Structures are given as structure tokens and as C-alpha cells.
Chain A
Amino acid sequence: MLAERPITPATLSRKDLPWQIKWDINTCTKCGRCTSVCPVNAIELGVFRKRDVKPPMGLSAKPTTEFSTFYGIRQRTDPAYACIGCAMCNMVCPNNAIEPSRQYDSTTLQFQNNRGGQPRTRGGRRNNSESLLDQIKFIRISMLTDPALDAGRHEFDVRTLLGRVLSPEAEIKCFRENGWKPPVREIYPLVIGGMSFGALSPNMWEGLQMGVAYLNEEMNMPVRICTGEGGCPPRLLRSRFLKYVILQIASGYFGWDEIIHAIPEMKEDPCAIEIKYGQGAKPGDGGLLMWYKVNKLIAAIRGVPSGVSLPSPPTHQTKYSIEEAVAKMIQSMSMAWGFRVPVYPKISASSTSLAVLNNLVRNPYAAGLAIDGEDGGTGAAYNVSMNHMGHPIASNLRDCYKALCVAGAQNEIPLIAGGGIGKHGNLAANAAALIMLGASMVQIGKYVMQAGAGCLGSEKDRCNVCNIGVCPKGITSQDPRVYRRLDPEKVAERVVDFYLSFDTELRKVIAPLGRSTSLPVGMSDALGISDKDAADRLDIKYVI
């Protein structure tokens, strides 16, 4: 540091940074790879000057001072360039000479994160490592009267329904009278949730689509992927793979022109239409695609100028009331595809979820309800939204399921739960717990990025720069220099891998419960938790 460096209120020392760079002078070959790969320019090549005082032998000779210079890596302390702990530097270093390490006692950067009066926005997860879903145990394990099944060899039917299912009475009446039946899709209960083409890099998106197509066509698993807002590449819209895709529309209507124009040329109907009213990471906000990521391609697909930020308006900007909005949107979307495609809304879990649900119960065209809990989200959102807003998914889902039970509609409107599933890697256990709490299917986003493409983000505020287009892995960047790091084929392979292992684990959970011919939706007697309040709230067993 220069002697005359000014010390201002925002000046930080290295000690103040949560992520510290450990650099080893002895093994560093000074190749410069780490500095060139660092997504936030947290490190730079530095020239260091060193003064050595050499005291000679004897009493008469005076000590001499020697100066030397050496080259090395310097960590910047400007809060705008603080290290995010992504460890890309370590990944590219040939000698492991550099690595970030977390320093838990430094909180100072938090106070400097909001620069120029702008609060911090980021991508990534909620910075909270608790997980209620991980605490839930499956306690109903059949031992005597009901022999457990062999998870590896028994025949299992792991399928769920997406779409408005008629009640048995209505179904029989409809059959007799040859009436209109709402479209229903039989799909795999783990859905890849909405991550838009603008948010993800083309390579990531292509990899996901390839993985999903492979699972459907080669592995006989009807996996579905949601596009997120922002439209869909025109070639996909006109391909036979569209049937594996759930198209999302949100309040910004980005990309919908393209979709509507493609309808006459569609060879297949999409699996479903998801109308996004909210998502877990930024409840109440619209989507936010920051200008860094709006390149020419994204701009063309979305039908907007390039290089501008694209915030979707908050939920009901174009609408008069939620009842009207939901009903109208569902109806017009259904109509666009001749009532052959299920249409359902997605909301962020909140204390008003029940009101939305009550609304849907009476709407014959509503095909389901997706609820996204507070833990969700990868896209750009304000720090405060991501960390402090929203409702946990488990109790919200449970309330909705119980409301459906009271209305007698629990087979009729499928609930899709999302938010925090597999956040510690326990994907199958978390998904099974939500299914037993009443979800017909679950959706995941971040997990796909972590398992499918090696996203570095964690619950400890690691990485989380998805929003500014510098994703070091090339997952959420629209800059070809960065996203060419990601091989779509490899992403597809990983997606297939983790789906297959999820499938095995899910069977391992439901086989000992004696379930094989139908998904154990609402089988809450199988669940227990060691937290009395949580047990009461979720109406499951309290076990310690």
C-alpha cells in the first residue's frame, strides 16, 4: 500500500473482507492465469518492493539497506472488487498456489456493499443454511405386516399428473356426455423450474434441453423443463422437442410475440403454460435481467433493444384484480392452444397463497398451482428480497394441500412446490418430504445449476454474481468468452446422471413405505420431525 493512500470511511483492509486470498510465493510460477480468470478482478498482478537492512559483522561498519522487487498477486480491498470466493483462481492455477479462504468474523463488507446509494443486487441463493426439509424424517418403515419392497427390482410407477383432473363424478358424466376434458399430462414429478434463456447462457440452456430430451427419449422418464420468462429460441418452438417444455409468461411478456407468432408452425403443443406472478427469490418483484446480459441474441429473442436492463413489472401491473388477472390469463392462454394445453399460475409462497388457490379451485381451466418458497432463485434480485422476504415452502404448501382436502379437490389441482429443495444436496429426501406433505410434483432450479453445470454458489454468499454476466462457469453469462467454458454435451450428461440417481433415491424412500403404484402424495403419516412446533404446524408426527 502506498504511504499516502487516503483512508476514507469506505476504506477496507484485507482483514475486512470475508474472502481472503492465500497466495504462496514459493509455488507460484507467475503465469497470470488466476488474475485473468477472476470474474470480479479481485486480484491483480502486483509489484512489491522490499527493504532489507543488513547489519555487517563487527562494530565499526555501518548497516546497509538493500532494496529488492518481486512480483506477485495482490488482493484488492476496494469493496467493489471484493473477492467472491468462487475459487476459479485455484481451479486454473497449475500449482495450487492460490486459493480463497473464508473469514467468518469479518462483517465489514456488508456495510459497504451498497455503493452509490444503490442497494446490492445479486444472483444466487438465500444466505441461510437452515433447512427445515432436511430435518424431516421418514418414520413409517414397514417391517412386519407390510413387507418393504425392493427398491432396485420392484416395478414402480413414479409419475404424476399436471393439469386439471376432473372429480370422479364429473369424469364419468363427461365420458357419458362426450364433454370437454381439461388437458392432463403425465410427467415425472421432478421438474426443472423456470430459468430463462436470458438468465442462462446459450450453452447452459442447450445442455439442459438436450439432457431433458435424452431423459424422455432414451430413459423413458417424462421430465419437463420450464423456460422462464423471456421467450424461447424460435427453432425449439418449431421442433418436436417443444412437448418437453413448459413455456413461461410473466408480467413483462418478454418473448411472447415470438411464441404467439410461432403457434401456427408448431409441430407439437408445449407441455404446459406457466404464468408467473411471483418467484421465491424476489416475491412481489418482477423479474430483473440486468443490462450486462442483454446482448444481441437475448435482445432479439425478447424483442427489446440490447444493452438495457429488463425489469418485468411487479405482479399485477396490467391488471385490475388478481381474480380477474388469473382468470383472464388462464383463459386466454388456454384459448391460444385450443384448450389442449394445461395453463397454471406460479406464485411466490406467501400468506396470500391460499387466496390464490381458492380462486383456482373454482376455475375449471386452472391446471395447477406452482408455489415457490423463499429459498428459491438464481436471477438478479435485491439482497434484501433474497435474504429477508418470502415464506418457507413446507408450511405454505401444507396449508394449501389441507385447504384442497377441505374443498375435496386434492386430486384435482396439482400443487407444484419449489424453493430450497436439495439445497444441501439432499434432493430426493427433500422432494419426497414435499410430496408427502401434499405436492404433486416439485421444481428445482439452483440444484440443476449446481449438479448439472458446477455452479459455485452456496449458502455462504459464495460467488452469487449471476446477475452481472460474469458467471465464472459460464452458466449465467451471455458473454461468449465466458460461456464457451461450458460444454453443453457435458451439461446434458450431468443432468441425465443426477436425474437417474434421484430416481433411485426416491425409490429407496418410497419402497420401505410400501408404495409403488402411485406417488405418495399427502402421505403425511410417513413423516416425523424432532421440532415440536414444526410438527404441530405441519401436522406430522413429533419424534425425538
Chain B
Amino acid sequence: MCRLFALTSRDPVSPMRAIDALNVMKEGHDGSGVGLFLSGLGGPWEELKEYPILSGIFTDAGLARMSEYMTKNGFQSKYSATFKPDVEPPVGTPKRGTYASIAFRIPDEWKGMTREQADRNLVQMRLDLRAMGEAEGDIMVFSFWPDTIMIKEVGDPLAIAGYLKLDREELYARHILAQGRQNTNYAINLYACHPFFIEGISTMTNGENTAFVPIREYLMSRGVTGYQGYQSDSEVFTHIAHYATKRLGLDISSYKHVITPMNDDEMRDHPDREFLSDLKRACRKLIIDGPNCIIGCLPDGSMFMAQDRKKLRPGVVGGNPELGIYGFSSEICGLNAAIPERDRTKDFQPMHLDTAIVGPDCREVLQCSQKDPLRQQL
């Protein structure tokens, strides 16, 4: 089963802290892969917050094709953090080429565009590049978005970390999602590796989503650029989070009302019952049946954890408000390893109605229950 670990911190930290936590939880996964999402980047990226960063893996030919494509679209590279391993890869990891994160300057013609249009265009460019790469096998892109880097590779997380030198300062970040293990329900494929990303929203999941096929069909029919791919049954969680927050304009505490609505009894004396039962009907196709633990990060840097209704996957949130660091882990041992200096009695394990949210200020774990009045009034 996948092991998940996420860190959110006021100051940038090394992704190695998350990788080490994964390593502690290693008994529970087979070390078949690793995926990293980094945002709130530190180091050289602090100055480049507005510039979309393209992260992916390229062969030399792929690099050339990519820059040709970018130039054609009026994008100029501004800064890049590329890494080409010069040693032999660990067992099971293919030799791929350059792991690159490149920040681009947006062309002047884009200035007149609305925010939504520009965002959609960025997603479309990522999809175009992905399609180009799938045709030739020379380009793989995981994200193209400001202040975001994603790295994915097949192999043991710790070995990959050493191979790709993930403790480099240019990878320090405030918000880190890390997942260990490759896709096991479907074919091995880097695009199937968590976390998944769309327009600043990233999530990763544990377990298996039994409602995958109907949800995938539903999302794909929504007409949203970027709702595609689905090499993994967990990618839909990212897109549901995107759909609920960006398309429907709901607050993240309502995410759980979409994926695991309350039953009639629980809803009976809820102050927002009318809206919630309407929402349940309208979003019926998005109900998940789990078992899943979902950890995600939003564009503003808030992080959250939620469970399916059966709560057959564990998850714990804990941290230290003084140090301004919180961890989200699928196992307590992972959290112990990453943030030993915390008050363990304050650790929170969300149950079937709860969503745990830590804001970008990293001061407290906000515990939302579905039984609470909605945070956001429509």
C-alpha cells in the first residue's frame, strides 16, 4: 500500500525530510517509486513567484523539442534548475536524461487575458507537451505552474533521492507532498505516480478508489481542460478538489461533502441541510467509496487531509506551531521521524466526518467536521 507524507512549514525545508519519513514507513510499501510535489519554493525561486515553472524529464532531443515549442508560443526561459545524473541509476530505475525545472517568462500578448484564460492556457501547454512526449517518448511533464516543482521516478525513494540529489538547496520548499510506491492496480507508468497536479492543486491518495470509472467518465464530460490522463484511479481526487474549489467555488472544507456526503440521519439537523442535500444530489457521481486517505495542497499553500466514509486507511496530522511546521502522514512513525519535536497529544487522526486543514501560516490544525455549519456561506 502507498505511504504518504506531507510537510507544510513557514520556512523552506529540504524534501529529504519527507523522503526520510517515507523511508521510516518503508515496511508498508515496496519502494517501487517516488513522487514529489513542492510549492512555496525557497532559494533562487523566491524571486520568480510569477513565472510558471515547467517540471519534467527530457532526453536531449526532448529538451530541444520542448524549447522550440516554448519559443514558438512566445515563452522565454528565465531560470532553470536542471539535473542530469552522471552515475548509474539504482536498480529498477531507467536512465532517462535530464530532470528539469525551468521558469519561463510569459509572453506580452498574455497580459490582456483574463486569469482563467491564462490558467487554462498553461494547462493546455502542459497537455500539448505531454502529448508530444508520448508520441516520441522523449518528454515527460508533470506540472507547468508558478511556484511549483514536481519530480517523479520509479525506484526506492531513498535510493532515488541520492541518485537525483534531492537535498539540493534549489529544491527547498514550504509545502511538500511525497508519496512512496508506484501504481500497482494498473500498469507502471510515471504519469500514474502520485501526487497529481492541476492548476495549483495537488493531492495524493492511499488505497483504491472503487468508484473510479464512473467518476472518471463524469469528470471527462465536464468540459474542463486538463481533466484527462487518469493513468491512476487516484487522479480523480485531485480533479474533484479542483472542480469543487475552482469550478463550484466551494471552500475546501466542503470537499468532503462532495466526495463522502452525510447520510440522511446525519444531515437531519444540520443548519445547512437544504444546501447539503442539493449538493449531494448534484454531485452524486463524485461520491467515492474508498478506502482512501487523501492529502492535498491548495494554491494558497493550505494543506488538508480527508478520509473516505469507511475510514479503512489511517492518517495522522501533527506538528509544532512554534516552529511553524506540520506533517501529514499515513503512519505515526513517519510523523515521529519527521517532526519529533512536537506535542504528540495534539496529534489529530481525522475520522469519517473530518477534514484536517493546516493554513499557510502553519499555526494550528483546523478540524472541520461535516456536522459543523459550513465555513463559507453561499
- Which residues of A line the B interface, CB within 8 A? 140, 142, 145-147, 149, 155, 157, 161, 165-172, 174-176, 181, 184, 405-411, 513-518, 520-525
Q: Which of B135-143, B162-170, B193-201, B218-226 contacts A (4 or more CB under 8 A)?
A: B218-226
Name the one of A184, A411, A525 contacting B213, with C-beta atoms under 8 angstroms.
A525
Known A-B contacts A165-B282, A515-B211, A518-B289; A172 and B378 likewise in contact (beta carbons under 8 Å): yes
Indicate which residue in A140, A147, A523 contacts B214 across the interface (CB closer than 8 Å): A523
Asked whether any CB of chain A lies closer than 8 Å to the CB of B115, the reply is no
CB-CB under 8 A from B261, the residues of chain A are 517
Q: List 15 A-B contacts (CB under 8 A).
A: A145-B184, A145-B185, A145-B208, A147-B312, A165-B282, A166-B281, A166-B282, A167-B282, A168-B247, A171-B278, A172-B249, A410-B217, A411-B218, A516-B309, A523-B211
Question: A146's contact among B222, B285, B291, by CB below 8 Å, is which?
Answer: B291
Partner of A411 from the list B212, B279, B285 (CB cut-off 8 Å) is: B285
Contacts of A184 in B (CB 8 A): 281
| Bound-complex Cα distance A184 to B260 (A) | 20
Provide the residues of chain B in CB contact with A406, threshold 8 Å. 221
B346, CB-defined interface residue at 8 Å: no
The distance from the CB of B274 to the nearest CB of chain A, in whole angstroms, is: 8
A145 to B212, CA, bound (A): 14
Checking A146, A161, A408 against B207 with a beta-carbon cut-off of 8 angstroms, the contacting residue is: A146
List, in ascending order, chain A residues with CB within 8 A of B290's CB.
Answer: 146, 514
A365 shortest CB reach to chain B, Å:
17
The residue from A146, A171, A520 contacting B208, defined by CB atoms under 8 A apart: A146
In angstroms, how far is the closest chain B Cβ from the Cβ of A163? 9
Q: Which 10 A-B pairs have the closest CB atoms?
A: A408-B221, A171-B282, A514-B210, A146-B208, A522-B214, A518-B287, A411-B285, A145-B208, A525-B213, A168-B282
Q: B110 on the interface (CB 8 Å rule)? A: no
B285–A408 contact, CB under 8 A? no
Contact in complex: B378, A175 (CB < 8 Å): yes
Contact B281 A169, beta carbon cutoff 8 Å: no
Besides A411-B284, A520-B211, 5 new A-B residue pairs in contact (Cβ under 8 A), listed by A number: A172-B279, A517-B309, A522-B213, A523-B211, A525-B212
Whether, in the assembled complex, B267 has its beta carbon less than 8 Å from a beta carbon of chain A, the answer is: no
Interface residue SS majority, chain A: loop
Distance (whole angstroms) from the CB of B203 to the closest CB of chain A = 18
CB distance from A441 to the nearest CB of B (A): 13
Residues of A within 8 A of B132 (CB): none
Q: Is the CB of A172 within 8 A of B248?
A: yes
Tell me the minimal C-beta distance from A268 to chain B in angstroms.
20
- A525 contacts across to B, CB distance below 8 A: 212-213
Whole-angstrom distance between the alpha carbons of A172 and B309 in the complex? 24
Contact A518–B275 (Cβ < 8 Å) = no
CA distance A410 to B218 in the complex (A): 7
How far is it, in angstroms, between the C-alpha of A168 and the C-alpha of B276 when the chains are bound?
12
Judged by a CB distance under 8 angstroms, whether B1 is at the interface is yes
A181–B278 touching, CB < 8 Å: yes
Complex Cα–Cα for A518 and B218 (A): 15
Q: Across the interface, which residues of A come within 8 angstroms of B243, CB to CB?
A: 168
Q: Does B310 sit within 8 A of A, measured CB to CB?
A: yes
Q: Which chain A residue lies CB-closest to B285? A: A411
Distance A155 CA – B352 CA, assembled complex (angstroms):
13
Residue B114, interface by CB 8 Å: no
Partner of A517 from B185, B248, B260, B282 at Cβ < 8 Å:
B260
Contact with A along B278-305 (1 / 0, CB 8 A): 1101111101111100000000000000
| Cβ-closest chain A residue relative to B264 | A186
When the two chains form their complex, are residues B284 and A518 in contact, meaning their CB atoms are under 8 A apart?
A: yes
- List the A side residues contacting B284 at CB < 8 Å: 161, 165, 411, 518
Kindly state the separation between the CA atoms of A142 and B310 in the bound complex, as whole angstroms.
Answer: 15
B345 on the A face (CB < 8 A)? no
Chain B residues 330-363 with CB under 8 Å of chain A are none
The residue that B291 contacts in the complex, of A147, A409, A513, A520, with Cβ under 8 A, is: A147
Instruction: Find the A residue at minimum CB distance from B284.
Output: A411
The chain B residue sitting closest to A514, CB to CB, is B210
Q: Which residues of B contact A (CB under 8 A)?
A: 1, 184-185, 207-208, 210-214, 217-218, 220-223, 243, 247-250, 260-261, 263, 274-275, 278-279, 281-285, 287-291, 309-310, 312, 378
Q: How far is the CB of B122 from chain A (nearest CB, A)?
A: 22
Contact of B278 among A175, A516, A521 (CB under 8 A): A175
**B278 contacts which chain A residues (CB < 8 A)?**
166, 171, 174-175, 181
Whether A146 contacts B210 by the Cβ 8 Å rule is yes
> Bound complex: CA of A117 vs CA of B226, how far in Å?
65
Known pairs A166-B282, A411-B284, A525-B213; A176 contacts B378 (CB<8 A) = yes
Q: Which partner residue on chain B sits nearest A140 by CB separation? A: B210
Looking at B243, B275, B288, B310, the one whose CB has the most chain A CB atoms below 10 A away is B310
Contacts of A518 in B (CB 8 A): 211, 284, 287, 289
Q: Is the CB of A522 within 8 A of B217?
A: yes
Q: By the criterion CB–CB under 8 Å, are A407 and B310 in contact?
A: no
- Does B221 lie within 8 Å of A405, measured CB to CB? yes
The distance in angstroms between the C-alpha atoms of A170 and B248, with both chains bound, is 9
In the bound complex, residues from chain A placing their C-beta under 8 Å from that of B212 are 525
Contacts of B210 in A (CB 8 A): 140, 142, 146, 513-515, 523
Query: Which residue of the partner chain A has the closest CB to B223?
Result: A408
Contacts of B218 on A, CB cut-off 8 Å? Answer: 405, 408, 410-411
> Which residues does chain A contribute within 8 Å of B248, judged by CB atoms?
168-169, 172
Residues of A within 8 A of B1 (CB): 145
Tell whether A171 pairs with B247 under 8 Å between CB atoms, given A145-B208, A410-B218, A522-B214: no
Cα A171 to Cα B248 with chains together (Å)? 10
Question: Looking across the interface, which residue of chain A has its beta carbon closest to that of B289?
Answer: A515
A175 and B275 within 8 A (CB): yes
A165 touches B281 (CB 8 A): yes
A147 CA to B1 CA in the complex, in Å? Answer: 12
For A157, what are the chain B residues with a Cβ–Cβ distance below 8 Å? Answer: 263
The answer to whether B312 touches A410, judged by C-beta atoms less than 8 angstroms apart, is: no
Q: State the Cβ distance, B332 to closest chain A Cβ, in Å.
A: 21
Cβ-closest chain B residue relative to A167: B282
Complex Cα distance, B212 from A520, in Å, reads 10
* Least CB separation from A515: chain B residue: B289
Across the interface, do B281 and A405 meet the contact criterion of CB distance under 8 Å?
no
| Cα distance A169–B211 in the bound complex, in angstroms | 21
Of residues B211, B212, B214, B279, which shows the largest number of chain A Cβ atoms within 10 Å of its Cβ? B214
Q: What is the minimal beta-carbon distance from B288 to any residue of chain A, in angstroms? A: 8
How far is A176 from B184 in the complex, measured between Cα atoms in Å? 43
Please give, as numbers and ranges, the residues of chain B lying within 8 Å of A514 by CB-CB distance: 208, 210, 289-291
A410 CA to B279 CA in the complex, in Å?
Answer: 16
Nearest Cβ in chain A — how far from B179, in angstroms?
15
Query: CA of A28 to CA of B233 in the docked complex: distance in angstroms?
Result: 69
CB closest residue in chain B, given A406 = B221
Complexed CA–CA distance, A154 and B274 (Å):
27
Bound-state Cα–Cα, A270 to B242, Å: 39
- Enumerate chain B residues within 8 angstroms of A176, measured Cβ to Cβ: 378
CA of A145 to CA of B223, assembled, Å: 32
Given contacts A168-B282, A184-B281, A411-B285, contact A520 B214 (CB under 8 A): yes
**Which one, A142, A168, A405, A515, contacts B279 given CB within 8 A?**
A168
Complex Cα distance, B311 from A155, in Å, reads: 13
Chain B residue nearest in CB terms to A145: B208
Chain B residues within 8 Å of A523, by CB: 210-211, 213-214
The complex places the Cα of A272 from the Cα of B309 at a distance, in Å, of 32
A520 to B211, CA, bound (A): 7
